[in-house]
Amino acid sequence: MTEESAHDGESARDRIVRTDGGSDQGVVRRDRFSGGPARSFLSSLVADERIFEADLEVDRAHVIMLAEQGIVEDDVAGRILTALDAIEVDGHASLPDGEDVHEAIETAVIERIGEAGGKMHTARSRNDEVAACIRYRVREDVLDAIETTIALREALAAVADAHRETIMPGYTHLQPAQPTTVAHWALSYEGAVRRDTERLFEAYGRINESPLGGAAFAGTTFEIDRERTAELLGFDGGPASGTRGTSAEQRSAVVIENSMDASSSRDFLLETVQALSTHATTLSGIAEDLIVFANRAFVSLSDDYSSTSSIMPQKKNPDTLELVRAVAGDAAGGVQGLTTTLKGLPRAYNRDLQRATTHAWETVDAVIEASEVAAGAIATADWNEDALAAEAGAGFSTATGVADLLAANGLPFRTAHEVVAIAAENGADYDAIDAAAAEVLGEPIDSFVDPEAVAAALDPAESVATRDSRGGPAPEVVADQLDDARDALASHEATLDETSEAIEAAHAALREEVNEYV
């Protein structure tokens, strides 16, 4: 993925580097750049396997545009497109040596059809070419990541639906705080993952724009049609560009206007990795909670998401979730690595950018896998309702409910807080509350509130039922939250389908255009 100026009119024969045996060694570098100890250091050919198919599609779109514009003859375009099909069948491993996949594919085309193959690179640079290939591939990765976030949200919603009334302890600072429900806990993470989904959709909209035609950075002298290549490759912005709910047929091509910006910018990669890192942080929180819950016998993970000790046969370890938790560090490292690579680069192309995509590929792969594992672990986990209920009131977790009850019956909340705090130190039951009221207020508790109401406030299930403010854990309020989660899921699934269909439609349309020439 390296820099090259557009070969405006230069013949392929002039650019072919010959060895003594006459075999083609490359189509870009001249004799003084044909070898040396730094060749392997400069090469990205192995890493470029990830964008091999993307490069072929970008080549096809560019060649078709050149033919339509009369820049390349139709018969030459047909021969080039036929060669590209053959190269795709043979695969990345069959490519000749080269600095990158772009050079290797061009060399392979020339080897098949002769110097006319060099016309495929007219009016472009490897700068705008690689930028297009990266965008073409990373948009697919982002859609895969979105799909895993949706699957995770579905798993969380299913747990919430099944456990609307399953009481559990809630914690702050890992100390017993207030009783809640498993459904309330699950939906708290569904909301966070929903925002992760939205961030990825927004990143997609800025990824799916076409840099082709920017050339090295200063455009080209040829009368190219940048909108046409954008259309052929499905660069239509996407849902974050105002096309949500718009059919594939109605979407229009989106071109990055400034040619220097088009060829050199990698902010779309940074935004993608940042969004993935945010999601990995959400996953890490889910994993940590489940690890703690498993330790306290609140939840039992499926054997498929656990392991045992090599020496202690009684152990059931939440190993997969520990690795999910660790991926947040990998993703944060990807953000830092990519940010540092991009920091302070002068404008237009710099070879540093060859190292930028590594951070993106590693991050997207790790986070997608972690998201899939988290979804599977949640979907197959068994919640211990008895253990959860038994622990829900531990640590006088209903204390706030009692204080709220006293405040609702006329006491200043701070006075009610003092009464309950004293009761917490002396038994945390009705008698302790009554004694504390006498100490602080000079009167028994039943002078202020019905004893039955106090007893209800002390019960974890009753306490949860009274917390019916918007977004609270009361079962009927959770039902509303669950409906909202399902509506958002349906909307995002539809958007994902529409976006994927738009890409497939563009791919099919490009294939039809290719078939007109081959």
Q: What is the 3-state secondary structure (H, E, C) of 408-419?
A: HCCCCHHHHHHH
pLDDT at 5 over 50: no
How does residue 37 score in pLDDT terms, banded at 50, 70 and 90?
low
Instruction: Please give the Cα distance from 127 to 125 (Å, whole number).
Output: 5
What are the backbone dihedrals phi and psi of residue 18, each rounded to the nearest 5 degrees, phi first? -105, 145
Residues 6 or more apart whose CB falls under 8 angstroms from that of 188 comprise none
Retrieve residue 223's tokens. Answer: 């009368």
Of the listed ranges 75-79, 252-256, 375-379, the one predicted with least confidence: 252-256
Pure H helices in 166-242:
182-207, 226-232
- Of 254, 255, 253, 258, the residue nearest 217 (C-alpha): 258
| pLDDT above 90: percentage of residues in the chain | 74
Mean pLDDT of 10-21: 37
Catalytic choice (94, 302, 307, 309): 309
Q: Which SS3 state, helix, strand or coil, does residue 497 take?
A: helix
Band the pLDDT of 452: cuts 50, 70, 90: very high
- Among this protein's residues, is 309 annotated catalytic? yes
| Apex 42 CA angle, 39 and 45, nearest 5 | 95
Q: Tell me, what's the pLDDT at 99?
A: 76
The DSSP symbol for 102 reads H
Q: Which two tokens stand for residue 39?
A: 């060749």
Residue 357 CB neighbour total at 10 angstroms? 24
HEC-encoded secondary structure of 424-485? HCCCCCHHHHHHHHHHHHCCCHHHCCCHHHHHHHHCHHHHHHHCCCCCCCCHHHHHHHHHHH
What pLDDT, on a 0 to 100 scale, did the predictor assign at position 186?
98
Q: Which helix (H) or strand (E) holds 358?
A: helix 356-380
* Chain mean pLDDT for the chain: 89
Kindly report whether the global pTM for this prediction surpasses the value 0.85: yes
Per-residue burial over 132-150, b if 16 or more Cβ lie within 10 Å, else e, is: bbbbbbbbebbbebbbbbb
| pLDDT score of 43 | 64
Note the pLDDT tens digit of each residue in 61-76.
Answer: 999 999 999 999 999 9
CA–CA–CA angle 176, 182, 183 (5° rounding): 135
Query: How much is the pLDDT for 495?
Result: 96
- Separation between Cα atoms, residue 440 and residue 318, nearest integer Å: 48
- Other Cβ atoms less than 10 A from the Cβ of 15: the count is 18
pLDDT band at 242 (very low <50, low <70, confident <90, very high): very low
Spell out a b/e string for 374-383, using b for 16 or more CB atoms within 10 Å of the CB, else e.
bbbbbbebeb
Cα separation, 216 vs 123, in Å, equals 10
Q: Is 219 helix (H, G, I), strand (E, B) or coil?
A: coil
Backbone φ and ψ for 237, nearest 5 degrees, come out as: 80, -75
**pLDDT reported for residue 23:** 40
Angle 356-380/126-162 helices, nearest 10 degrees?
10
Residue 241: its pLDDT value, please? 47
| Structure confidence at residue 315 (pLDDT) | 77
Sequence-ordered list of residues with C-beta below 8 angstroms from that of 112, at least 6 positions apart, any chain:
83, 86, 87
pLDDT above 50 for 300: yes
pLDDT at 17 over 80: no
Mean pLDDT of 432-439: 91
Share of the chain above pLDDT 70, in %: 89
pLDDT at 368 over 90: yes
**pLDDT value at 35 more than 60:** no
- Give yes or no for residue 31 having a pLDDT over 80: no
pLDDT confidence band for 44 (50 / 70 / 90)? low
Q: Name all domains of the chain by residue range, CATH numbers in brackets.
A: 12-122 (1.10.275.10), 129-148+169-390+482-509 (1.20.200.10), 399-458 (no CATH)
**Which pLDDT band holds residue 351 (cuts at 50, 70, 90)?**
confident
pLDDT digits (tens, 9 = 90+) for 380-433: 999 999 999 999 999 998 899 999 999 999 999 999 999 999 998 988 899 999
d(CA 423, CA 272): 52
Is 50 exceeded by the pLDDT of residue 191? Answer: yes
> Higher model confidence: residue 125 or residue 16?
125
d(CA 92, CA 44): 13
Q: Which of 99-103, 268-272, 452-456 has the lowest mean pLDDT?
A: 99-103
Q: How confident is the model at residue 236 (pLDDT cuts 50, 70, 90)?
A: very high
Reported as a pLDDT band with limits 50, 70 and 90, residue 29 is low
Q: Is 155 left (phi over 0), alpha (psi -120 to 50) or beta?
A: alpha
Known catalytic residue at 302: no
Greatest pairwise CA separation for the chain in angstroms:
107
Rounded CA separation 322/354 (Å): 32
Does 124 have pLDDT greater than 50?
yes
